[in-house]
Amino acid sequence: MSHGRAPRRRFTLLAAPAAAAALALTLTACGSGNKTGGGGDTHFVTGSGGISTAAKGERADAPKLDGQSLDGKKLDLADYKGKIIVLNAWGSWCAPCRLEAKYFKKVAEATKDQGVQFIGVNTRDTERAQAVSFEENFGVTYPSFYDPTGKLLLRFPKGTFRLQSIPSTVVIDRDGKLAARFVGGLDDTQLHKMIDPLIAEK
């Protein structure tokens, strides 16, 4: 697990001091326990598999995320309103990201006809070419934000599911609410555990 801690520490150095302090606090505050209250009226439960979920009606709004994609085009989360969105923070330098990439590709293809949209948030890659090569090597076809300094990660409100480390994944329901989160690398079984209940929701 030492792979995860060092990148997180380096990442906080890139943010503004106040933001870095807030992010560092988040990293230490949300790592354990079966039930975590993040502040305000937001409560979520972490199951034995490490997947944190929020019940419908108790979910916080997803933040506004907009910017440029890896290919330099405009990318806006709002354009996918009404879809279930799987949002994954990753970097080409990240070993767990490389391990999970094939599973993300597999599940993205398997669920796209069920109203599921995968979107990446590439961070801490100082050159786009590194991230583009990663996507080409793993056959990733869904879009990713290019967020080298992690500004988009800091848009998540306090007390909500956050993309708080690399890799981490949040799932947004059809109403634009933060419904599930996992911190760390995922496989296809875990991804389906996060997504399938939302597909079944009416």
100 has pLDDT over 80 = yes
pLDDT digits (tens, 9 = 90+) for 125-155: 999 999 999 999 999 999 999 999 999 999 9
pLDDT average, residue stretch 32-59: 62
Rounded to whole angstroms, how far apart are CA atoms 37 and 44? Answer: 7
Rounded to whole angstroms, how far apart are CA atoms 199 and 34? Answer: 24
pTM for the whole structure: 0.78
Please choose, from the candidates 168, 173, 196, 195, the residue with its C-alpha nearest in 3D space to the C-alpha of residue 184: 168
